[in-house]
Structure 1
Amino acid sequence: MIYKWNYKPLTPKETEIRDELSTQLGMHPALCQLLIQRGINSVEQAQKFFHPSLKDLHDPFLLPDMDKAIDRIENALGQKERILVYGDYDVDGTTAVALVYKFLRKFTTNLDYYIPDRYDEGYGISEQGIDYAAETDVKLIIALDCGIKAIEKVKYAKSKGIDFIICDHHMPDETLPDAVAVVDAKRVDSIYPYEHLSGCGVGFKLAQALAQNNKIDFSELLDLLDLVAVSVASDIVPLTGENRILTYYGLKQLNSSPSMGLQGIIDICGLNDKSITVSDIVFKIGPRINASGRMMNGKEAVDLLLSNTALDAKLKSENIDHYNANRRELDKRITEEAINFIESELDITKINSIVIFNKDWHKGVIGIVASRLTEKYYRPAVVLTKSNNLVTGSARSVMGFDVYKAIEACKDILENFGGHTYAAGLSLKEENLSEFRRRFEAMSVELIAPEMMRPQIDINAELNFIDINNKFVSDLDKFAPFGPENLNPIFVSKDVADYGNSKLVGKDSLHIKLDMVDSSLNTPMHGIAFRQSNSFSMIKKGLYDICYTLEENIHNGKTNTQLYIKDIDKGQF
């Protein structure tokens, strides 16, 4: 894949501010450049960014309907009503259910939780779930990470004498469900200062509000933050503002005193001996929690997250790890089938989007397959299968194309849809599939410029190898945790040369282990370039440019800094 490298130099005014910050903070100019790129232009702002404070969390009662939600919960507790905590089957939903359930059980034992089955019930609030609530004498359902569009389901619950509190973070329609409370910072009438909370984050704000209302010290909420960190990282929400504060302290909790269930997953992932990062959650912890809802039922993930003993957590983690192994096999097979179909049946050079359907594909992995196709072909991808007599699936997008809005524009031929800018889900009748494909492609042609279909790498700053010392790496750590809108910065170094020891490594020699020098440093800098063996001959012939992130590498008990090479090129600048 040929990447375009984007490098936007600072303006003269920004350069002046960068140099002032560098002097005042005693920090390398390249790192101060990162601050400016994040809208941080003063020492005071920088110190606030480097030292997130729980005191900067917003008042939960600023969220719309939070006062109504708390009043209804207090009434339910006072009347000893049975409460059902209801959530989606993905990581965000299951962590949200576990968090709110853990907090509410401080007040009542008349409590239950429910995760809909991905296959029998589908996404969001289901009639089966409401029927279960009615059968078990539930009077209040607290819905987390779903429900914002459940107008008919809330009406159905009302007919059975059941109230709803909806705590969601998805985009609402013009008409809201007739629930007791609809807590969502994305409501048009919301005055909440931060709209990008995860579903579990909204659940945490509910717990925070209930704690405030009962004069419970905030310290009583700290042991819930590991769940919030897992949700924020896994749901790919912006790691800015309140999310960054919650994740910063959630990672502290995850590394020092995780819940029994999360400790079980940490053990099964082999993460015991390292400092867990957002990346570890995204690639190791999150997929295992997700695997439960993808392969079996998400309720098992909540069962694990609520484990009370190490043995229970160990057994449940082993089950979920088994599901994850099965998920990987399915994901690999279906991705290969999808690519084979595209290569044989579609002319990828003549389309701006991919919409493919196979009734036999496993519903639990089609979102992952859509992501793989978007990465490979750099086009929005919609992967669909058959479930409950409907065509249902997941969509993923490229930078600059709002796949949620594109799908929303087709809502007249859809049965259901929801999601975010770059990831969405939908269902429709099979007879509407060709029309959906036609409309989606037309919007892709209209809104996606040719350069948007070429993968791009945004370069944050240029470095010489001599700049990369212990202080630089230590200062860079202050920018963590990294994630969307606070990405791990990508640096460029120009005119580097092979030190002579670089070699192909890994299965089928697909990767390059690099030893490099530049004009600033004769001691070799180590790097790894995954799946870039096609550049090996180039690096042996002369000077080249690299772009990379700086990563901690632990080998034989020793920690050192390694360049994680994103791309190798011969003079993009």
Structure 2
Amino acid sequence: MHHVTKVHFGPLLSEVRTKVDSKRPILRYLVDKREGLKNTHPKELLVSDFSCFHSPFSLPDITEAVNLLLTYAKTNRKILLYGDRDSDGVSSTCLLAFFLRSHPEFQSAHLEVMVSSESDPYGLCKEAVTKIKKAKPDLLVTLDFGSSQADEIESLTELGIQVIVLDHHEVPVRIPKHCALVNPRRTDSDYPEKKICTAALSFKLVSAILFRESSEWNKLYAKTITNEDGSTEIVYFQNGIKVQKGSSTSSTSSDMAGQESSKSDNQIESNFDFSKKEVHPYPEDFTTNVPLDDERKLFFYQCQKIPQFFEQLEEETDLAGIGTITDMMPLVGENRHFVKLALESLTKLYIGDKKRKGLKELLKELKLNPNGITTKDLGWSIGPVVNAAGRMGKTEEAVSLLLSESEADAKTKAKNLLSINEERKERTKRNMDRVERYFARKPERTGHEVVYCYEPDMEPGVSGIVATRMVDTYKKPAIFVAPDNGDARGSIRSYGPENVLELLESLSHHFLHFGGHPEAGGFSITIDQLPKFESELYEKAKLWLSEDKDRPKEHLIETDFTVLPEEMNEKLRKEWMDLEPFGQGNPDIKLGIKNAKAIHLTPLSGGKHVRFHIVGSGSLKFMIWNKGEEFQNFMSKHGSFDLVGSLEENFYQGRSSLQFIVEWFGKSETK
């Protein structure tokens, strides 16, 4: 920990309170520092409700997807939902499946659910295509993959299988034919948010289905606006989207199977006579808790007119929030609202009688705080357990739990899923021990721009976790590879803002498959190709990083504030809690403490972890995970030290307490 190059200590709390002109100076200072939040209206920062969501009908191909699902569900043709193995894939698949199974209009739908397992390569691999052909669906919905697999999709549509893709990964130039591809990253997408996960897209699809089935569908609203030159014009809206003559609120795919190809249901023809259609006045007097743009305000107004609309959607937010956190989406804009509403929904689920029996039993088995589920619970408890099933080749176990319909069945499956997670932890530990020995034998391997590790005795299924730990240790992009079903599978994780997909693309001729996000990717490769891959990797990595001007040239930790030991308490933490949820794009508040002195030091787990107090902090506990021995060695040589970390609530055995989690300790070289 103490090898950090520099620490930039933020201002003292007293300085901020003196200099920032605001009723809440600490909160105002933090908001202004955060790029993704500083332009957010204060009320939208403090309040989250369904008014904050954009209409789903600006997503490309969403109307086609809705029409297809309604048509195939109501005619009892076979619908196959096929999801990816990770938490977002499982969450998005179960969200849509649960809705279709529980909603009265779709309960008779011929629905089948599949998910990929850890033994399958990524996406629509040949194994997945074989399974799909064997299932013989009329309609296939892929969730969390499919955007970059036009050839495979077209091979299925040629067999008469209609395809919907719900995905948020990077989209290539070629979009598959005869396919509804719902992806906000499409270059032709008008959707305001580009970085939302597939579970959020499942939520959007469900809300679009409910709206499509209502009397508000395709109603035309008009608003008269005054231009800067004093002239007036009429702006029209349909389904929460501004429309003009010749425009459409949904991008269309050509020649949709089983539908008219001339226009979508939500398209207004260029020669349409607006005066001949019933036009409703824009609700000028309608008020919301949060100041909204015209489109969101109107869509919320329309949704409020639909009986039980928000009540039906409330429970769907839970899995959307879990997917958002675990897939590391930036917690700004809609993602922020998804997670906040998910926490409310999960808390109600925990203490109430809701439909999701499986998720409720999982919360109980995890022994989470019934007084309020937190973002940390999503990211560190619920998400990893759901993810563990896929990592251990047992994705179906997570799906089976989340779709459970009885408490007894759900309780058994929740215990089973926690047992799988314990297996995952043990496998991770064994792999990490091997990684440490690997670099101890070959320390020169840590001198490259990218740290790489492969040995034949590594165990599969946890490569992403191990790669992330390698990044934390070596402060560089990291690749971890393990044997897997006769081949090998690797994961890459970024250290800074570099795009790991660019590196994988430059090495793609070695891979069987690859994919992922700019921050995290994966690939499969034959074992005999690994030596060639590694030898080329280091040269490609040099070129890759030399072109990345934003890459940090040194490891720097920046704190939001410098605090005195006596200032840290629950009252201080409450000053910024309105910034929750914390995570990707909106990190937890980082505090710096200078010249601290430890007392009452207690080694834990044989010295692996350590708990202590510092002089002046009262009863506040400080925790260091996985670096206990290093801290004790450091303490034996230094009388005082600097700390960087964050305050968090700890819930254990029915009791809550405040603690300080140490991210870094040492003697800082101040920037």
**TM-score with structure 1 setting the length:** 0.89
Change (3 A) 1:366 1:399: same
Q: Using the alignment, how far apart are the partners of 1:135 and 1:533 within structure 2?
A: 55
Offset of residue 265 of structure 1: 1.6
The 3-state SS of whatever aligns with 2:41 is: helix
Q: Contact (CA 8 Å) 2:347, 2:370: kept in 1 or not?
A: no
Kindly indicate whether the alpha-carbon contact (under 8 Å) linking 2:122 and 2:514 is maintained by their aligned counterparts in 1. Answer: no
In structure 2, which of residues 463, 468, 471 is the aligned counterpart of residue 371 of structure 1? 468
Deviating more after overlay: 399-408 vs 241-250: 399-408
Contact 1:527 1:563 in 2 (8 A): yes
1:113 and 1:556 map into 2 onto residues whose CA distance is 37
The alignment status of 1:116 with 2:116, answered yes or no, reads: yes
**353-362 vs 403-412, which moves further:** 353-362
Q: What does residue 577 of structure 2 align with?
A: 477
Corresponding residue for 2:221? none
Partner SS, residue 563 of structure 1 = strand
User: How far did 1:546 drift?
Assistant: 2.0
* 2:176 is the counterpart of 1:177: yes
Whether the 8 Å contact between 1:517 and 1:525 is mirrored in structure 2 is no
Distance in 2 between residues matched to 1:524 and 1:78, nearest whole Å: 62
For 1:73, which of 69, 72, 81 is the aligned residue? 69
* 2:262 counterpart residue number: none
> SS of 1:257's equivalent?
helix
- CA offsets per residue over residues 60-89 of structure 1, 9 Å max, x none? 111111122112222223433211111001
Deviation at 1:40, TM superposition (A): 7.7
3-state secondary structure, aligned to 2:646: strand
The whole-number CA distance in structure 2 between the counterparts of 1:43 and 1:176 is 34
Counterpart pick for 1:230 among 319, 322, 336: 322
1:37 Cα offset (Å): 1.2
Displacement of 1:466: 4.4
1:426-505 matches, cutoff 5 A = 426-448=523-545, 452=552, 455-498=555-598, 501-505=599-603
Query: What pairs with 1:335-374 in structure 2 (closer than 5 Å)?
Result: 335-345=432-442, 347-359=444-456, 361-374=458-471
Query: How many Å separate the matches in 2 of 1:41 and 1:167?
Result: 28
> Deviations along 1:509-542, whole A, 9 cap, x unmatched?
3444332245xx8x56442233244444766865
Residue 415 in 1 paired to residue 512 in 2?
Answer: yes
User: Secondary structure at 1:138's aligned position in 2?
Assistant: coil
Worse overlay, 106-115 or 141-150? 106-115
Aligned AA (1:492): G
SS at match of 1:141: strand
Say if 1:557 and 1:415 are closer, same or farther in 2 by CA, change over 3 A.
closer
- Look up the SS of the partner of 1:142 in the other structure: strand
SS of the residue aligned with 2:79?
Answer: strand
- Cα distance between partner residues in 1 of 2:168 and 2:142: 11
Is 253-262 or 72-81 further displaced after alignment? 72-81
Provide the C-alpha distance between the structure 2 equivalents of 1:360 and 1:566, rounded to a whole number of angstroms: 31
1:254 aligns with 346
What is aligned with 1:38? 34
Kindly indicate whether the alpha-carbon contact (under 8 Å) linking 1:92 and 1:200 is maintained by their aligned counterparts in 2.
yes
* Structure with bigger gyration radius: 2
1:315 maps to 2:412: yes
Aligned-residue offset at 1:113: 0.8
- Alpha-carbon distance in 1 for matches of 2:85, 2:193: 25
Gaps of 5+ in 1: none
Which residue of 394, 401, 405 corresponds with 2:502? 405
Alpha carbons 1:378, 1:454 under 8 Å: kept: no
CA distance change for structure 1 residues 274 and 442 in 2, over 3 Å: closer, same or farther?
Answer: farther
Pair 1:197-2:196 in alignment:
yes
The residue type paired with residue 200 of structure 1 is A
Sequence identity of aligned pairs in percent? 26
Structure number having the greater helix percentage: 1
Structure 2 equivalent of residue 163 of structure 1: 162
Question: For 1:87-166, what aligned pairs fall within 5 Å after superposition?
Answer: 87-105=83-101, 106=103, 107-108=105-106, 109=108, 110-119=110-119, 121-166=120-165
Query: What letter corresponds to residue 115 of structure 2 in structure 1?
Result: I
CA distance, structure 1, for counterparts of residue 658 and residue 473 of structure 2: 29
Moved more, 530-539 or 201-210: 530-539
More deviation in 257-266 or 459-468? 459-468
Q: For the Cα contact (< 8 Å) 1:517–1:524, is it kept in 2?
A: no
Instruction: Classify 1:394/1:489 alpha carbon distance in 2 versus 1 (closer, same or farther; 3 Å).
Output: same
- Structure-1 separation of matches of 2:596 and 2:482: 48
DSSP 3-state at the match of 2:146? coil
Query: In the TM superposition, what are the counterparts of 1:295-310 in structure 2 within 5 Å?
Result: 295-310=392-407
Distance 1:40 1:462, change over 3 A: farther
Count of aligned pairs between the two proteins = 560
The aligned residue for residue 51 of structure 1 is: 47
Distance 1:405 1:412 in 2: 13
For residue 409 of structure 1, report the CA deviation from its aligned partner: 2.0
Query: Residues 118 and 453 of structure 1: is their aligned pair in 2 closer, same or farther, counting only changes over 3 Å?
Result: farther
More relative contact order, 1 or 2 (CA 8 Å, 6+ apart) = 2
> CA contact under 8 A between 2:604 and 2:611: conserved in structure 1?
no
Is 2:310 the counterpart of 1:218? yes
Q: Assess if the C-alpha contact under 8 Å between 2:36 and 2:332 holds in 1.
A: no
Name 1:239's counterpart in structure 2.
331
Following the alignment from structure 1 to structure 2, what is the Cα–Cα distance between the partners of residues 387 and 537?
39
Q: What is the RMSD computed on CA atoms of the aligned residues?
A: 3.0
| Deviation per residue, 1:461-509 (Å, 9 max, x gap) | 22234443444322222111111011111011233344xx331321223
Asked if the contact 1:86/1:114 (under 8 Å) is kept, the reply is yes
| Partner residue in 2 for 1:382 | 479
Q: Secondary structure at the match of 1:173?
A: coil
What displacement does 1:453 show? 8.0
